[in-house]
Amino acid sequence: MDSSNRIGQGLWNKIRSGRLTTTFTLLATLSAGILAGSMLTGNVSAKQQKVDSSDAKPIVIPNPVTLSNGFSAIVKQVGPAVVNINTESLPKESTSKGRRGQLQGPPDGNGDQGDQGDMQDFFNHFFGGQGGAAPEAQGPQHALGSGYIVDPRGYIITNNHVVDHADHIYVKLSTDPDDPTDPGRPATVVGTDKDTDIAVIKIDSKTPLPIVKLGNSDGAQVGDWVLAIGTPFGQRNTVSAGIISAKNRSIDEGGDANGVALNEFQKFIQTDAAINPGNSGGPLVDMAGQVIGMNTAIFTQSGATEGIGFAMPSNTIASVYNMLIGPDHKVIRGSIGVQFQAEANSAVGRMYGFANGGVIVGQVVPNGPAAKAGVLPQDVIVSVDGTPIKNGDELIAIVSAKKPGSTVKLGILRGGKNISLDVGITDRAKLYADRDKASDESTGPDVPDAGQSKLGITVQPTSAATQGKLHITGGVTVTAVKPGSFADTINLFQGAVIVEINRKPVTDMASYRAVVNGLKSGDDVVFVVRSPQQPNSGNTYIGGTLQ
Protein backbone atom coordinates (compact mmCIF):
# COMPACT_ATOMS: atom_id res chain seq x y z
CA MET A 1 0.00 0.00 0.00
CA ASP A 2 1.43 3.43 -0.98
CA SER A 3 1.57 6.38 1.43
CA SER A 4 -1.66 8.03 0.29
CA ASN A 5 -3.62 4.81 0.74
CA ARG A 6 -2.10 4.31 4.20
CA ILE A 7 -3.24 7.83 5.25
CA GLY A 8 -6.73 7.26 3.96
CA GLN A 9 -7.07 3.84 5.56
CA GLY A 10 -5.74 5.21 8.88
CA LEU A 11 -8.30 7.99 8.98
CA TRP A 12 -11.09 5.63 8.05
CA ASN A 13 -10.10 3.22 10.85
CA LYS A 14 -10.14 6.09 13.38
CA ILE A 15 -13.57 7.21 12.19
CA ARG A 16 -14.97 3.69 12.46
CA SER A 17 -13.46 3.25 15.91
CA GLY A 18 -15.23 6.39 17.15
CA ARG A 19 -12.09 8.40 17.91
CA LEU A 20 -12.96 11.09 15.33
CA THR A 21 -16.75 11.17 15.45
CA THR A 22 -16.95 14.94 15.89
CA THR A 23 -15.43 15.50 12.46
CA PHE A 24 -17.17 12.66 10.72
CA THR A 25 -18.62 14.58 7.79
CA LEU A 26 -15.49 16.48 6.90
CA LEU A 27 -13.00 13.69 7.45
CA ALA A 28 -15.09 11.07 5.73
CA THR A 29 -15.19 13.31 2.68
CA LEU A 30 -11.43 13.82 2.84
CA SER A 31 -10.81 10.10 3.17
CA ALA A 32 -12.97 9.29 0.19
CA GLY A 33 -11.21 11.98 -1.80
CA ILE A 34 -7.76 10.63 -0.92
CA LEU A 35 -8.77 7.09 -1.84
CA ALA A 36 -10.35 8.24 -5.07
CA GLY A 37 -7.24 10.24 -5.89
CA SER A 38 -4.99 7.23 -5.37
CA MET A 39 -7.20 5.16 -7.65
CA LEU A 40 -7.08 7.75 -10.38
CA THR A 41 -3.31 8.08 -10.18
CA GLY A 42 -2.35 4.45 -10.00
CA ASN A 43 -5.22 1.99 -10.06
CA VAL A 44 -7.34 2.79 -13.13
CA SER A 45 -8.35 -0.56 -14.67
CA ALA A 46 -7.61 -1.44 -18.25
CA LYS A 47 -11.31 -2.05 -18.93
CA GLN A 48 -12.15 1.56 -17.98
CA GLN A 49 -9.40 2.88 -20.24
CA LYS A 50 -10.88 1.06 -23.22
CA VAL A 51 -14.41 2.55 -22.95
CA ASP A 52 -15.36 4.27 -26.20
CA SER A 53 -17.47 7.40 -25.49
CA SER A 54 -17.55 8.67 -29.04
CA ASP A 55 -21.29 8.01 -29.18
CA ALA A 56 -22.04 10.18 -26.08
CA LYS A 57 -23.83 13.40 -26.93
CA PRO A 58 -22.94 16.62 -25.09
CA ILE A 59 -25.64 18.24 -22.95
CA VAL A 60 -27.00 21.36 -24.57
CA ILE A 61 -28.62 24.07 -22.45
CA PRO A 62 -31.87 25.13 -24.16
CA ASN A 63 -32.86 28.70 -24.81
CA PRO A 64 -34.73 30.41 -21.95
CA VAL A 65 -38.45 29.69 -21.97
CA THR A 66 -41.02 32.02 -20.40
CA LEU A 67 -43.44 29.81 -18.48
CA SER A 68 -47.06 30.69 -17.81
CA ASN A 69 -46.27 31.90 -14.29
CA GLY A 70 -48.30 34.90 -13.17
CA PHE A 71 -46.14 35.31 -10.09
CA SER A 72 -43.01 36.21 -12.01
CA ALA A 73 -44.86 38.75 -14.13
CA ILE A 74 -46.20 40.44 -11.01
CA VAL A 75 -42.78 40.54 -9.39
CA LYS A 76 -41.30 42.19 -12.48
CA GLN A 77 -44.09 44.74 -12.40
CA VAL A 78 -44.06 45.56 -8.66
CA GLY A 79 -40.52 44.68 -7.58
CA PRO A 80 -38.75 47.82 -8.85
CA ALA A 81 -40.92 50.01 -6.58
CA VAL A 82 -40.19 48.03 -3.40
CA VAL A 83 -37.40 49.55 -1.32
CA ASN A 84 -35.14 48.58 1.55
CA ILE A 85 -35.21 50.92 4.56
CA ASN A 86 -32.28 51.16 6.96
CA THR A 87 -32.53 53.33 10.08
CA GLU A 88 -30.02 54.53 12.61
CA SER A 89 -30.85 55.58 16.17
CA LEU A 90 -28.14 57.45 18.06
CA PRO A 91 -27.54 56.75 21.77
CA LYS A 92 -29.33 59.15 24.07
CA GLU A 93 -27.78 60.76 27.13
CA SER A 94 -30.59 59.70 29.44
CA THR A 95 -32.03 56.23 29.78
CA SER A 96 -35.55 56.00 28.44
CA LYS A 97 -38.17 53.34 28.86
CA GLY A 98 -38.02 50.65 26.19
CA ARG A 99 -40.91 50.03 23.85
CA ARG A 100 -43.17 47.09 24.48
CA GLY A 101 -42.08 43.86 22.86
CA GLN A 102 -38.54 45.08 22.15
CA LEU A 103 -36.18 42.19 21.46
CA GLN A 104 -32.56 42.02 20.37
CA GLY A 105 -32.36 41.00 16.76
CA PRO A 106 -30.03 38.69 14.83
CA PRO A 107 -27.04 40.15 12.97
CA ASP A 108 -28.02 41.97 9.81
CA GLY A 109 -26.06 42.02 6.58
CA ASN A 110 -23.45 44.40 7.98
CA GLY A 111 -22.73 42.38 11.08
CA ASP A 112 -24.53 44.86 13.37
CA GLN A 113 -27.12 43.68 15.83
CA GLY A 114 -30.54 44.81 14.63
CA ASP A 115 -32.64 46.21 17.48
CA GLN A 116 -36.10 47.59 17.89
CA GLY A 117 -36.89 48.07 14.20
CA ASP A 118 -35.48 44.69 13.13
CA MET A 119 -36.97 42.35 15.67
CA GLN A 120 -39.72 44.53 17.09
CA ASP A 121 -40.46 44.91 13.40
CA PHE A 122 -42.76 41.95 14.01
CA PHE A 123 -41.82 39.91 17.06
CA ASN A 124 -44.59 40.47 19.61
CA HIS A 125 -45.23 44.00 18.33
CA PHE A 126 -48.93 43.40 18.92
CA PHE A 127 -48.73 40.42 21.28
CA GLY A 128 -47.13 41.66 24.48
CA GLY A 129 -43.55 40.48 24.76
CA GLN A 130 -40.70 41.51 26.95
CA GLY A 131 -41.77 44.80 28.50
CA GLY A 132 -39.76 47.03 30.77
CA ALA A 133 -36.78 49.22 30.16
CA ALA A 134 -34.35 48.47 27.39
CA PRO A 135 -30.63 48.38 28.10
CA GLU A 136 -28.93 51.70 27.52
CA ALA A 137 -27.48 51.87 24.03
CA GLN A 138 -23.70 51.81 23.78
CA GLY A 139 -23.59 53.03 20.19
CA PRO A 140 -25.73 53.71 17.12
CA GLN A 141 -28.50 51.15 16.72
CA HIS A 142 -29.43 49.96 13.23
CA ALA A 143 -32.69 48.47 12.02
CA LEU A 144 -34.10 47.16 8.77
CA GLY A 145 -37.49 47.35 7.09
CA SER A 146 -39.24 47.65 3.76
CA GLY A 147 -41.45 50.12 1.94
CA TYR A 148 -42.90 50.87 -1.48
CA ILE A 149 -42.97 53.94 -3.71
CA VAL A 150 -46.42 55.33 -4.53
CA ASP A 151 -45.41 58.61 -6.19
CA PRO A 152 -42.65 58.99 -8.83
CA ARG A 153 -41.42 62.07 -6.93
CA GLY A 154 -40.16 59.80 -4.15
CA TYR A 155 -43.03 59.38 -1.68
CA ILE A 156 -42.80 56.02 0.11
CA ILE A 157 -45.23 54.22 2.42
CA THR A 158 -43.95 52.05 5.27
CA ASN A 159 -44.79 51.15 8.87
CA ASN A 160 -44.48 53.77 11.55
CA HIS A 161 -42.61 51.33 13.79
CA VAL A 162 -39.92 50.97 11.09
CA VAL A 163 -38.97 54.65 11.30
CA ASP A 164 -40.19 55.54 14.80
CA HIS A 165 -37.46 57.15 16.97
CA ALA A 166 -34.93 56.93 14.11
CA ASP A 167 -32.37 59.75 13.85
CA HIS A 168 -31.39 58.84 10.30
CA ILE A 169 -33.41 57.01 7.64
CA TYR A 170 -31.88 55.62 4.45
CA VAL A 171 -33.55 54.02 1.45
CA LYS A 172 -32.13 51.68 -1.18
CA LEU A 173 -33.93 51.07 -4.44
CA SER A 174 -33.99 47.63 -6.01
CA THR A 175 -31.59 48.94 -8.67
CA ASP A 176 -29.08 50.44 -6.21
CA PRO A 177 -25.80 48.53 -5.72
CA ASP A 178 -25.81 46.09 -2.83
CA ASP A 179 -22.87 47.83 -1.16
CA PRO A 180 -22.77 47.26 2.63
CA THR A 181 -20.65 50.41 3.06
CA ASP A 182 -23.35 52.59 1.47
CA PRO A 183 -26.39 53.09 3.76
CA GLY A 184 -28.54 54.40 0.91
CA ARG A 185 -30.39 57.56 0.01
CA PRO A 186 -31.34 59.90 2.89
CA ALA A 187 -35.07 60.04 3.58
CA THR A 188 -37.23 62.44 5.57
CA VAL A 189 -40.48 61.75 7.42
CA VAL A 190 -43.53 63.39 5.84
CA GLY A 191 -46.01 62.23 8.45
CA THR A 192 -46.92 59.31 10.73
CA ASP A 193 -50.04 57.79 12.25
CA LYS A 194 -49.45 55.56 15.25
CA ASP A 195 -53.08 54.43 15.40
CA THR A 196 -52.69 52.54 12.12
CA ASP A 197 -48.88 52.15 12.26
CA ILE A 198 -48.51 53.92 8.91
CA ALA A 199 -45.73 56.35 7.94
CA VAL A 200 -44.93 58.32 4.79
CA ILE A 201 -41.30 59.16 4.01
CA LYS A 202 -39.68 60.83 1.01
CA ILE A 203 -36.42 60.61 -0.90
CA ASP A 204 -35.12 63.01 -3.55
CA SER A 205 -34.64 61.80 -7.10
CA LYS A 206 -33.60 63.62 -10.27
CA THR A 207 -35.63 61.19 -12.38
CA PRO A 208 -39.15 59.76 -11.88
CA LEU A 209 -39.16 56.60 -9.79
CA PRO A 210 -41.12 53.37 -10.42
CA ILE A 211 -44.34 53.10 -8.41
CA VAL A 212 -46.86 50.52 -7.27
CA LYS A 213 -50.59 50.77 -7.79
CA LEU A 214 -52.88 50.46 -4.77
CA GLY A 215 -55.90 48.23 -5.22
CA ASN A 216 -59.22 48.07 -3.37
CA SER A 217 -58.76 45.81 -0.35
CA ASP A 218 -62.54 45.39 0.01
CA GLY A 219 -62.45 43.24 -3.13
CA ALA A 220 -59.89 40.81 -1.70
CA GLN A 221 -61.42 37.46 -0.78
CA VAL A 222 -60.36 34.74 1.62
CA GLY A 223 -58.51 32.15 -0.46
CA ASP A 224 -57.10 34.64 -3.01
CA TRP A 225 -53.42 34.28 -3.92
CA VAL A 226 -51.11 37.05 -2.71
CA LEU A 227 -47.39 37.85 -2.79
CA ALA A 228 -45.36 39.44 0.01
CA ILE A 229 -42.33 41.40 -1.18
CA GLY A 230 -39.63 42.93 1.00
CA THR A 231 -36.31 42.53 2.78
CA PRO A 232 -36.67 39.72 5.34
CA PHE A 233 -33.56 39.29 7.50
CA GLY A 234 -31.81 41.84 5.28
CA GLN A 235 -32.25 39.71 2.12
CA ARG A 236 -33.30 42.29 -0.46
CA ASN A 237 -35.91 41.71 -3.17
CA THR A 238 -37.35 38.58 -1.55
CA VAL A 239 -40.75 37.27 -2.65
CA SER A 240 -43.03 34.79 -0.88
CA ALA A 241 -46.44 33.50 -1.93
CA GLY A 242 -49.55 32.48 -0.02
CA ILE A 243 -53.25 33.13 0.27
CA ILE A 244 -55.51 35.46 2.21
CA SER A 245 -56.52 33.34 5.18
CA ALA A 246 -58.84 35.82 6.93
CA LYS A 247 -59.99 39.44 6.85
CA ASN A 248 -60.84 42.10 9.40
CA ARG A 249 -58.55 40.64 12.06
CA SER A 250 -57.88 42.51 15.30
CA ILE A 251 -54.46 41.94 16.86
CA ASP A 252 -54.40 44.60 19.54
CA GLU A 253 -51.58 44.52 22.09
CA GLY A 254 -54.24 44.03 24.69
CA GLY A 255 -57.32 45.47 26.24
CA ASP A 256 -58.93 45.77 29.59
CA ALA A 257 -59.81 42.72 31.65
CA ASN A 258 -62.88 42.16 29.49
CA GLY A 259 -61.08 42.23 26.15
CA VAL A 260 -62.18 45.75 25.22
CA ALA A 261 -59.95 46.76 22.31
CA LEU A 262 -57.32 49.42 22.91
CA ASN A 263 -56.87 50.31 19.25
CA GLU A 264 -60.03 50.36 17.20
CA PHE A 265 -58.35 51.50 14.00
CA GLN A 266 -56.28 48.36 13.32
CA LYS A 267 -58.17 45.74 11.31
CA PHE A 268 -55.89 43.49 9.27
CA ILE A 269 -55.80 41.11 6.35
CA GLN A 270 -54.41 37.77 7.56
CA THR A 271 -52.17 35.79 5.20
CA ASP A 272 -50.03 32.66 5.26
CA ALA A 273 -47.48 34.16 2.84
CA ALA A 274 -44.12 33.94 4.60
CA ILE A 275 -43.46 37.23 6.44
CA ASN A 276 -40.35 37.68 8.54
CA PRO A 277 -38.42 40.49 10.28
CA GLY A 278 -37.49 43.04 7.63
CA ASN A 279 -40.67 42.47 5.60
CA SER A 280 -42.40 45.10 7.70
CA GLY A 281 -43.66 47.95 5.55
CA GLY A 282 -43.46 45.93 2.33
CA PRO A 283 -46.45 45.38 0.03
CA LEU A 284 -48.92 42.50 -0.06
CA VAL A 285 -49.84 42.18 -3.73
CA ASP A 286 -52.80 40.49 -5.44
CA MET A 287 -52.79 38.67 -8.76
CA ALA A 288 -53.63 41.88 -10.61
CA GLY A 289 -50.31 43.34 -9.46
CA GLN A 290 -52.06 45.77 -7.11
CA VAL A 291 -51.08 46.40 -3.50
CA ILE A 292 -53.98 45.39 -1.25
CA GLY A 293 -52.09 45.57 2.05
CA MET A 294 -48.89 46.45 3.88
CA ASN A 295 -47.11 43.71 5.82
CA THR A 296 -47.13 44.81 9.44
CA ALA A 297 -46.99 41.98 11.97
CA ILE A 298 -46.81 38.25 12.54
CA PHE A 299 -48.00 36.00 15.30
CA THR A 300 -44.99 33.97 16.35
CA GLN A 301 -43.85 31.71 19.15
CA SER A 302 -40.54 30.78 17.54
CA GLY A 303 -39.31 34.22 16.46
CA ALA A 304 -39.99 33.57 12.77
CA THR A 305 -42.94 33.11 10.47
CA GLU A 306 -45.45 30.44 11.45
CA GLY A 307 -47.94 31.05 8.67
CA ILE A 308 -49.96 33.80 10.38
CA GLY A 309 -49.08 37.26 9.11
CA PHE A 310 -51.04 40.49 9.14
CA ALA A 311 -51.24 43.32 6.61
CA MET A 312 -52.92 46.71 6.92
CA PRO A 313 -55.60 46.95 4.18
CA SER A 314 -54.88 49.27 1.27
CA ASN A 315 -58.13 51.20 1.71
CA THR A 316 -57.00 52.25 5.18
CA ILE A 317 -53.52 53.04 3.84
CA ALA A 318 -54.87 55.26 1.07
CA SER A 319 -57.07 57.24 3.46
CA VAL A 320 -54.23 57.79 5.94
CA TYR A 321 -51.71 58.60 3.19
CA ASN A 322 -53.93 61.28 1.70
CA MET A 323 -54.14 63.02 5.08
CA LEU A 324 -50.42 62.68 5.84
CA ILE A 325 -49.38 64.36 2.60
CA GLY A 326 -51.76 67.24 3.33
CA PRO A 327 -50.67 70.64 4.69
CA ASP A 328 -50.93 69.53 8.34
CA HIS A 329 -49.16 66.17 7.78
CA LYS A 330 -51.38 64.47 10.34
CA VAL A 331 -54.48 62.32 10.53
CA ILE A 332 -57.65 63.97 11.80
CA ARG A 333 -60.46 61.64 12.86
CA GLY A 334 -63.97 62.59 13.78
CA SER A 335 -65.58 61.73 17.10
CA ILE A 336 -68.94 62.25 18.77
CA GLY A 337 -67.59 61.68 22.29
CA VAL A 338 -68.97 58.32 23.36
CA GLN A 339 -67.27 55.13 24.51
CA PHE A 340 -68.56 51.61 24.12
CA GLN A 341 -67.63 47.96 24.03
CA ALA A 342 -66.39 46.81 20.64
CA GLU A 343 -68.21 43.47 20.90
CA ALA A 344 -71.09 42.86 23.30
CA ASN A 345 -72.19 39.44 24.53
CA SER A 346 -75.45 38.19 23.01
CA ALA A 347 -77.03 38.21 26.46
CA VAL A 348 -76.33 41.95 26.67
CA GLY A 349 -78.11 42.47 23.36
CA ARG A 350 -81.12 40.50 24.48
CA MET A 351 -81.32 42.30 27.81
CA TYR A 352 -81.12 45.78 26.26
CA GLY A 353 -83.13 45.05 23.14
CA PHE A 354 -80.53 45.26 20.37
CA ALA A 355 -79.88 41.61 19.57
CA ASN A 356 -80.09 42.36 15.82
CA GLY A 357 -77.44 45.07 15.81
CA GLY A 358 -76.46 48.31 17.46
CA VAL A 359 -73.92 49.76 19.88
CA ILE A 360 -74.71 50.35 23.54
CA VAL A 361 -73.17 53.54 24.94
CA GLY A 362 -70.94 52.91 27.96
CA GLN A 363 -69.93 56.50 28.67
CA VAL A 364 -70.61 59.95 27.29
CA VAL A 365 -67.61 62.26 27.39
CA PRO A 366 -68.47 65.33 29.48
CA ASN A 367 -68.95 68.47 27.37
CA GLY A 368 -68.46 66.45 24.18
CA PRO A 369 -70.80 66.61 21.16
CA ALA A 370 -72.86 63.59 22.23
CA ALA A 371 -73.33 64.97 25.75
CA LYS A 372 -74.45 68.33 24.39
CA ALA A 373 -76.90 66.59 22.04
CA GLY A 374 -78.46 64.60 24.87
CA VAL A 375 -76.98 61.11 24.32
CA LEU A 376 -77.07 59.08 27.54
CA PRO A 377 -75.28 55.96 28.86
CA GLN A 378 -77.25 52.81 27.97
CA ASP A 379 -78.57 54.44 24.78
CA VAL A 380 -78.23 52.03 21.86
CA ILE A 381 -76.98 53.64 18.64
CA VAL A 382 -78.67 51.76 15.80
CA SER A 383 -77.97 54.06 12.83
CA VAL A 384 -75.91 57.02 11.60
CA ASP A 385 -77.47 59.23 8.93
CA GLY A 386 -79.92 56.44 8.18
CA THR A 387 -77.23 53.75 7.76
CA PRO A 388 -77.85 50.79 10.12
CA ILE A 389 -75.03 50.07 12.58
CA LYS A 390 -74.30 46.43 13.37
CA ASN A 391 -71.34 46.85 15.71
CA GLY A 392 -68.71 49.20 17.07
CA ASP A 393 -66.40 48.76 14.09
CA GLU A 394 -69.04 50.12 11.73
CA LEU A 395 -69.78 53.07 14.03
CA ILE A 396 -66.08 53.95 14.24
CA ALA A 397 -65.59 53.67 10.49
CA ILE A 398 -68.44 56.05 9.73
CA VAL A 399 -67.85 58.62 12.47
CA SER A 400 -64.04 58.77 12.20
CA ALA A 401 -64.32 59.53 8.48
CA LYS A 402 -66.48 62.60 9.15
CA LYS A 403 -64.89 66.04 9.19
CA PRO A 404 -64.83 67.99 12.45
CA GLY A 405 -67.51 70.64 12.35
CA SER A 406 -70.01 68.51 10.46
CA THR A 407 -73.16 66.93 11.94
CA VAL A 408 -74.62 63.43 11.89
CA LYS A 409 -78.10 62.16 12.76
CA LEU A 410 -78.01 59.28 15.24
CA GLY A 411 -80.82 56.76 15.43
CA ILE A 412 -81.07 55.74 19.08
CA LEU A 413 -82.99 53.08 20.96
CA ARG A 414 -83.74 54.33 24.47
CA GLY A 415 -85.93 52.33 26.85
CA GLY A 416 -87.54 50.48 23.96
CA LYS A 417 -88.36 53.68 22.04
CA ASN A 418 -86.69 55.00 18.89
CA ILE A 419 -85.47 58.60 18.95
CA SER A 420 -83.28 60.71 16.66
CA LEU A 421 -80.58 63.16 17.73
CA ASP A 422 -78.38 65.55 15.72
CA VAL A 423 -74.80 65.24 17.00
CA GLY A 424 -71.80 67.32 16.03
CA ILE A 425 -68.42 65.91 14.99
CA THR A 426 -65.24 67.04 16.71
CA ASP A 427 -61.52 66.25 16.40
CA ARG A 428 -60.96 62.99 18.24
CA ALA A 429 -57.39 63.82 19.27
CA LYS A 430 -58.41 67.14 20.81
CA LEU A 431 -61.43 65.66 22.55
CA TYR A 432 -59.39 63.05 24.41
CA ALA A 433 -56.19 65.08 24.87
CA ASP A 434 -56.92 66.06 28.48
CA ARG A 435 -58.32 62.81 29.80
CA ASP A 436 -57.25 61.86 33.29
CA LYS A 437 -54.57 59.21 33.78
CA ALA A 438 -55.41 58.25 37.34
CA SER A 439 -53.58 55.34 39.01
CA ASP A 440 -55.13 52.26 40.62
CA GLU A 441 -57.02 52.65 43.86
CA SER A 442 -56.66 50.28 46.78
CA THR A 443 -59.71 48.62 48.31
CA GLY A 444 -60.69 47.73 51.85
CA PRO A 445 -61.18 44.34 53.50
CA ASP A 446 -63.48 41.76 51.97
CA VAL A 447 -67.12 41.57 53.02
CA PRO A 448 -69.03 38.30 52.44
CA ASP A 449 -71.73 38.65 49.79
CA ALA A 450 -74.69 36.72 48.43
CA GLY A 451 -73.19 35.83 45.06
CA GLN A 452 -70.57 33.25 46.02
CA SER A 453 -72.69 30.20 45.29
CA LYS A 454 -74.53 31.44 42.20
CA LEU A 455 -71.97 33.71 40.57
CA GLY A 456 -68.64 32.68 42.07
CA ILE A 457 -67.64 36.15 43.29
CA THR A 458 -67.16 38.00 46.55
CA VAL A 459 -67.74 41.72 46.75
CA GLN A 460 -67.37 44.65 49.12
CA PRO A 461 -68.75 48.20 49.25
CA THR A 462 -66.93 50.49 46.85
CA SER A 463 -64.64 52.95 48.62
CA ALA A 464 -65.37 56.66 48.50
CA ALA A 465 -62.05 57.27 46.75
CA THR A 466 -62.93 54.82 43.95
CA GLN A 467 -66.40 56.29 43.62
CA GLY A 468 -64.83 59.72 43.22
CA LYS A 469 -62.38 58.49 40.61
CA LEU A 470 -65.17 56.84 38.61
CA HIS A 471 -67.63 59.69 39.17
CA ILE A 472 -70.28 57.30 40.50
CA THR A 473 -72.39 56.91 43.62
CA GLY A 474 -72.47 53.51 45.29
CA GLY A 475 -71.63 50.23 43.58
CA VAL A 476 -69.89 47.12 44.88
CA THR A 477 -66.35 46.02 44.08
CA VAL A 478 -65.43 42.47 43.10
CA THR A 479 -62.67 41.26 45.40
CA ALA A 480 -62.36 37.64 44.21
CA VAL A 481 -63.49 35.48 41.32
CA LYS A 482 -63.68 31.69 41.79
CA PRO A 483 -61.92 29.80 38.95
CA GLY A 484 -64.38 27.92 36.76
CA SER A 485 -67.39 29.79 38.13
CA PHE A 486 -70.05 31.59 36.10
CA ALA A 487 -68.31 34.92 36.69
CA ASP A 488 -65.00 33.45 35.54
CA THR A 489 -66.49 32.07 32.30
CA ILE A 490 -67.93 35.47 31.33
CA ASN A 491 -64.69 37.30 32.27
CA LEU A 492 -66.02 39.28 35.22
CA PHE A 493 -62.76 40.45 36.75
CA GLN A 494 -61.36 41.18 40.19
CA GLY A 495 -61.47 44.91 40.91
CA ALA A 496 -64.52 45.54 38.72
CA VAL A 497 -67.08 47.91 40.25
CA ILE A 498 -70.61 46.59 39.65
CA VAL A 499 -73.07 49.46 39.22
CA GLU A 500 -75.98 47.56 37.70
CA ILE A 501 -77.27 43.99 37.24
CA ASN A 502 -80.02 43.22 34.73
CA ARG A 503 -80.88 46.92 34.43
CA LYS A 504 -81.33 47.26 38.19
CA PRO A 505 -79.03 49.77 39.94
CA VAL A 506 -76.53 48.41 42.46
CA THR A 507 -75.97 51.19 44.98
CA ASP A 508 -74.88 49.16 48.00
CA MET A 509 -74.56 45.65 49.39
CA ALA A 510 -78.30 45.39 50.09
CA SER A 511 -79.32 46.21 46.52
CA TYR A 512 -76.67 43.83 45.21
CA ARG A 513 -77.96 40.96 47.36
CA ALA A 514 -81.56 41.68 46.41
CA VAL A 515 -80.80 41.27 42.69
CA VAL A 516 -78.55 38.23 43.08
CA ASN A 517 -81.01 36.39 45.31
CA GLY A 518 -83.63 36.58 42.56
CA LEU A 519 -81.41 34.99 39.90
CA LYS A 520 -82.08 31.42 38.81
CA SER A 521 -80.66 28.90 36.36
CA GLY A 522 -81.36 29.80 32.73
CA ASP A 523 -81.54 33.54 33.36
CA ASP A 524 -79.57 36.00 31.26
CA VAL A 525 -77.35 37.93 33.66
CA VAL A 526 -75.82 41.22 32.50
CA PHE A 527 -73.45 43.24 34.71
CA VAL A 528 -72.70 46.90 34.08
CA VAL A 529 -69.24 47.47 35.54
CA ARG A 530 -66.60 50.17 35.76
CA SER A 531 -62.85 49.63 35.96
CA PRO A 532 -60.79 51.68 38.47
CA GLN A 533 -57.73 50.83 36.36
CA GLN A 534 -59.34 52.64 33.42
CA PRO A 535 -61.55 55.29 35.00
CA ASN A 536 -62.26 57.01 31.70
CA SER A 537 -63.34 53.88 29.83
CA GLY A 538 -66.98 54.21 30.88
CA ASN A 539 -69.40 51.35 31.38
CA THR A 540 -68.55 47.82 30.31
CA TYR A 541 -71.33 45.30 29.76
CA ILE A 542 -70.54 41.70 30.71
CA GLY A 543 -73.14 38.98 30.41
CA GLY A 544 -74.01 35.36 29.98
CA THR A 545 -76.66 32.77 30.72
CA LEU A 546 -76.62 31.37 34.25
CA GLN A 547 -76.34 27.59 34.30
Of 364, 395, 361, nearest to 378 (Cα)? 361
Give me the torsion for CA of 241, 245, 249, 251, rounded to 10°.
-60
**Catalytic residue (one of 118, 121, 197, 272):** 197
Q: How many residues does the chain have?
A: 547
**Catalytic residue (one of 38, 146, 280, 335):** 280
Q: Is 379 a catalytic site residue?
A: no
| CA angle (359, 385, 414) in 5-degree steps | 40
d(Cα 77, Cα 84) in Å, to the nearest integer?
17
Of 422, 54, 120, nearest to 253 (Cα)? 120
Query: H or E stretch including 32?
Result: helix 24-42
Q: Is 280 a catalytic site residue?
A: yes
Q: Is 161 a catalytic site residue?
A: yes
d(Cα 7, Cα 24) in Å, to the nearest integer?
16
- Please give the CATH number for the structural domain made up of 337-431: 2.30.42.10
Q: Could you list the pLDDT tens digit for every one of the 547 residues in the chain?
A: 444 444 445 444 443 444 443 333 322 333 334 334 444 444 555 555 678 888 888 888 888 766 656 888 899 999 999 999 999 988 765 433 333 333 223 333 333 333 334 434 443 343 333 333 344 446 788 888 999 999 999 999 999 999 998 999 999 998 898 888 888 999 999 999 998 999 999 999 999 999 999 999 999 999 999 999 998 887 888 999 999 999 988 775 433 322 333 356 778 999 999 888 888 899 999 999 999 999 998 877 766 667 789 999 999 999 999 999 999 899 999 999 988 876 667 888 888 888 788 899 988 888 889 989 999 988 999 999 999 998 888 898 899 889 999 999 999 999 889 999 999 999 988 887 755 433 334 444 444 456 888 899 989 899 888 888 888 988 999 988 988 889 999 999 999 999 999 999 998 888 999 899 889 888 999 999 999 888 888 899 999 998 8
- Please give the CATH number for the structural domain made up of 457-545: 2.30.42.10
d(Cα 43, Cα 30) in Å, to the nearest integer?
19
Q: Where in the chain is the domain with CATH 2.30.42.10?
A: 337-431, 457-545
Q: What DSSP string describes 363-423?
A: EE-TTSHHHHHT--TT-EEEEETTEE--SHHHHHHHHHTSPTT-EEEEEEEETTEEEEEEE
Q: The domain at 71-324 falls in which architecture?
A: Beta Barrel (2.40)
Q: Where in the chain is the domain with CATH 2.40.10.120?
A: 71-324
**Catalytic residue (one of 89, 121, 161, 193):** 161
The pTM (predicted TM-score) of the whole model is 0.62
